[in-house]
Structure 1
Amino acid sequence: MAIYIFFAALWYLSLFSQTFFQHRYAAHGAFTMSKGWERFFFIFTYITQGSSYMSPRAYGIMHRLHHAHTDTELDPHSPANSSNIFSMMWGTRAAYQEILHDEKVVEPRYTKNLPEWASLDRFASSTFSRLLWVAGYIVFFVYFATNPYQYLLLPIVVSMGAFHGAIVNWFAHKYGYINFRLRNTAMNLLFVDVLMLGESYHNNHHKHPSSVNFGRRWFEIDPVYYVIRLFEWLRVIKLAPTVKKQLAVA
């Protein structure tokens, strides 16, 4: 039972870090926060994502490139450029590494207003840090696993971020339904998205990239939207003026 609880907790906590901090905050600037809270969420993201941690700065740049060049040759992760999900994710990794290590020339418009903590990113992205987390996961499984089948979850735990990315970046560009006709293949993968915390409403998101609520229809529940409104009420974050206007009209 401990393994399943651990897996579920890690699934949702790491996914929350990705959608709240790396995606909606870093990539789209849907809200602002103080430097103190930004550092808190840097650390929270590192702890919850562990061996699959992604730099919020590098993630933000890569995701902005995805929106600007969706389904073209310049898209860092599009099924249109790959024959299968594994080649797409390998290409995504290569694109991310180039951005992380400043090996790719990126236009200034994609690098504005990004959260940065270079020393943490260097350590969190190091081989030492990743292997340390992997070792910790293995020890946990050895200690708490009650049958061999539970070890099948270990590879997903180690590569949790890539696993989340594969679900959205591959399947949400191939399967689902649309609310908006766009010049790309983005679709809404799930009708009620509790599994991916709203991230699978990909068609909605490509139509309204800066929106804090990825759901648009009454049944499209975006759990993180309500957390964001709670954080706004608690003054942890401040919604961007354009986002406030969108909410007032909605």
Structure 2
Amino acid sequence: MCQGSSYLSPRAYAILHRMHHAYSDTPKDPHSPHHTENLFTMMWKTKNIYNEYFSFRLMPEERFSKDVPDWNKFDRMADSMFVRLAWGLLYVAIYVLSISVFHLPGTHWWMYFLLPIHFLMGPVHGAIVNWSGHKYGYANFDNNDQSKNSLLLDVLMLGELFQNNHHKLPNRPNFAVKWYEFDPTYPVVKLLHFTRIIKLRPA
């Protein structure tokens, strides 16, 4: 529900994410900014690889697919154009009601220009994280790749731009490492653990 029109199959996403860590910034990396001409060609390459795994036209190495969630029927439903369009219409309705009907405080007509980003939030977020997180910023660790921590942008990406930290410590739920770094998602993860919705493994 949170992904809406940007729904990604957990299975296909997990495969690509594991490949990204295994082949970080090499030609085999499914979304490295260092092997594509620009941001849009990187997004297009990632989309094509994702579709190959999503449709089972391409089968990954076992290490990339072991223990990933496989919800084939749900994935096909959530990926359908009908469902994606339904989510898009819901977003439009919320914007129209908020801006034009109820005139909620803080809303303005120019916010309609945000709708395309809202429709494609998943790909937009992924593109920013993988482009910025492997091109701009600083590194705490030598990971034999180009991963970076983009501190100034990280608040907007909820911790995801601590890519250098994440590539060094991929199983760590808190992406922040230094005292001046803050991962805003980590307190949410701790709350989910405290309420037993999820279970964090011991460090």
* Cα distance in structure 1, aligned partners of 2:88 and 2:157: 23
* Cα distance in structure 1, aligned partners of 2:91 and 2:85: 10
Q: Percent identity?
A: 48
* Cα distance in structure 1, aligned partners of 2:34 and 2:154: 24
CA, structure 1 residues 239+94, in 2 after alignment: closer, same or farther (shift >3 Å)?
same
Checking the alignment, whether the CA contact within 8 Å between 1:192 and 1:219 is kept in structure 2 is: no
Letter in 2 for 1:194: V
Which portions of structure 1, spanning 4 or more consecutive aligned residues, are displaced by more than 6 angstroms? none
In structure 2, list runs of 5 or more residues that go unmatched.
101-107
The structural deviation recorded for 1:74 is: 1.1
* Cα distance in structure 2, aligned partners of 1:225 and 1:113: 24
TM-score w.r.t. length of structure 2: 0.91
> Out of 67, 85, 90, which is 2:21 matched to?
67
Provide the aligned length of Structure 1 versus Structure 2.
Answer: 196
Aligned to 1:205: 166
> Out of 209, 215, 219, which is 2:176 matched to?
215
Aligned to 1:54: 8
Letter in 1 for 2:4: G
Aligned to 1:32: none
Letter in 1 for 2:130: N
Aligned to 1:95: 49
Q: Please report the RMSD computed on the Cα atoms of aligned residues, expressed in angstroms.
A: 1.5
The structural deviation recorded for 1:166 is: 1.1
The structural deviation recorded for 1:114 is: 1.2
Aligned to 2:199: 238
Residue 123 of structure 2 is aligned to residue 162 of structure 1: yes
In structure 1, list runs of 5 or more residues that go unmatched.
1-46, 246-250
Equivalent residue runs for 1:1-250 within 5 Å: 47-146=1-100, 147-190=108-151, 193-240=154-201, 244-245=202-203
Checking the alignment, whether the CA contact within 8 Å between 2:25 and 2:32 is kept in structure 1 is: yes
Q: Which has the higher helix share?
A: 1
* Cα distance in structure 2, aligned partners of 1:192 and 1:78: 19
* Cα distance in structure 2, aligned partners of 1:143 and 1:192: 31
TM-score w.r.t. length of structure 1: 0.75
Helix, strand or coil: the match of 2:25? coil
The structural deviation recorded for 1:145 is: 2.8
* Cα distance in structure 2, aligned partners of 1:74 and 1:194: 29
Kindly indicate whether structure 1 or structure 2 has the higher relative contact order, using CA contacts under 8 Å at least 6 residues apart.
1
CA, structure 1 residues 80+193, in 2 after alignment: closer, same or farther (shift >3 Å)?
closer
Provide, for residues 79-133 of structure 1, a one-character-per-residue CA deviation record: whole Å limited to 9, x for no partner: 1111110110011111111111111121111111112222211110111111111
